Chains A and B, each alone.
Chain A
Amino acid sequence: MIARHWLNRLFISGICLLAMIALVPLFSVLFYVISHGASSLSLEFFSSLPAPVGEIGGGIGHAILGSVVLISMCSLISIPLGLGMGILLSEYSQKPVSRVLGVVVELLSSIPSIVVGLFAYALVVRPFKGFSAHAGAIALSMIMIPLVARTTEEMLKLVPRSVREAGLALGLPKARVIVSIVLKGSLRSLTVGVILAVARIAGETAPLLFTAFASQHWFQGLSEPLASIPVQIYTYAVSPYEDWHAKAWGGALILILMVLGLNLLIRIFLPRRKDG
Chain B
Amino acid sequence: MMTPSPVLLEVNGLKAFVESTEILHGIDLGVSRQEVVAFIGPSGCGKSTFLRCLNRLHEETPGGRAEGRVTLEGQDLYASGTDPVQIRRRIGMVFQKPNPFPSMSIFENVASGLRLNRIAKGVELEARVEAALREAALWNEVKDKLDASGMSLSGGQQQRLCIARALAVKPPVLLMDEPTSALDPVSTAKIEELVIQLKKETTILMVTHNMQQAARISDRTAFFLYGDLVEYGPTTKVFTTPSDRRTEEYITGRFG
Measured CB to CB, the residues of A under 8 A from B are 94, 159-173, 176, 180-181, 184-187, 274-276
Contact of A170 among B62, B102, B151, B169 (CB under 8 A): B169
CB-defined contacts of A167 to chain B, threshold 8 Å: 101, 112, 116
Query: Per a CB cutoff under 8 Å, which of A166, A172, A173, A275 touches B95?
Result: A166
Please name all residues of chain A whose beta carbon is closer than 8 Å to the beta carbon of B102 when the two chains form the complex.
Answer: 159, 163, 185, 274
**Nearest-neighbor residue (CB-CB) of B56 within chain A:** A168
Name 14 interchain pairs, CB-CB below 8 A, sorted by A: A159-B102, A161-B60, A162-B97, A166-B99, A166-B165, A168-B60, A169-B57, A171-B85, A171-B90, A176-B116, A180-B116, A274-B103, A274-B152, A275-B152
- Residues of chain A within 8 A (CB-CB) of B70 are none
Q: Which residues of B contact A (CB under 8 A)?
A: 55, 57, 60, 62, 84-90, 92-93, 95, 97, 99-104, 112-113, 116-117, 149, 151-152, 162, 165-166, 169
The answer to whether B88 and A171 have CB atoms under 8 Å apart is yes
Interchain CA distance A165-B116 in the complex, whole Å: 15
Are the CB atoms of A170 and B116 closer together than 8 Å? yes
Q: A160-B99, A181-B103, A274-B149 are in contact. Are A169 and B116 (CB under 8 A)?
A: no
CB contact under 8 A between A170 and B112, given known A274-B151, A275-B151, A275-B152: yes
Q: Is the interface of A mostly helix, strand, loop or mixed?
A: helix
CA gap between A162 and B48 in the complex, in Å: 13
Complex: A16 Cα to B117 Cα, angstroms: 54
A170 adjacent to B149 (CB under 8 Å)? no
> Which 5 pairs across A and B sit closest by C-beta, in order of nearness?
A171-B89, A185-B103, A170-B113, A171-B88, A162-B99
Distance in Å from the Cβ of B51 to the closest Cβ of chain A?
A: 10
Contact B117 A165, beta carbon cutoff 8 Å: no
Most buried by B among A168, A170, A172, A186: A170
A162 lies within 8 A of B103 (CB)? no
- Not counting A166-B95, A173-B85, a sample of 9 additional A-B residue pairs whose C-beta atoms are within 8 angstroms of each other reads A162-B95, A168-B84, A170-B112, A170-B166, A170-B169, A176-B116, A181-B104, A185-B102, A186-B103
* Residue from A169, A170, A181 having most chain B Cβ neighbours under 10 A: A169
Question: Which residue of B100, B101, B102, B117 has the most chain A CB atoms within 10 A of its CB atom?
Answer: B101
B62: chain A residues at CB < 8 Å are 94
Query: Which A residues are CB-close (under 8 A) to B57?
Result: 165, 168-169
B103 to chain A: which residues have CB within 8 Å?
Answer: 181, 184-187, 274
CB distance from B108 to the nearest CB of A (A): 10
Contact B88 A170 (CB under 8 A): yes
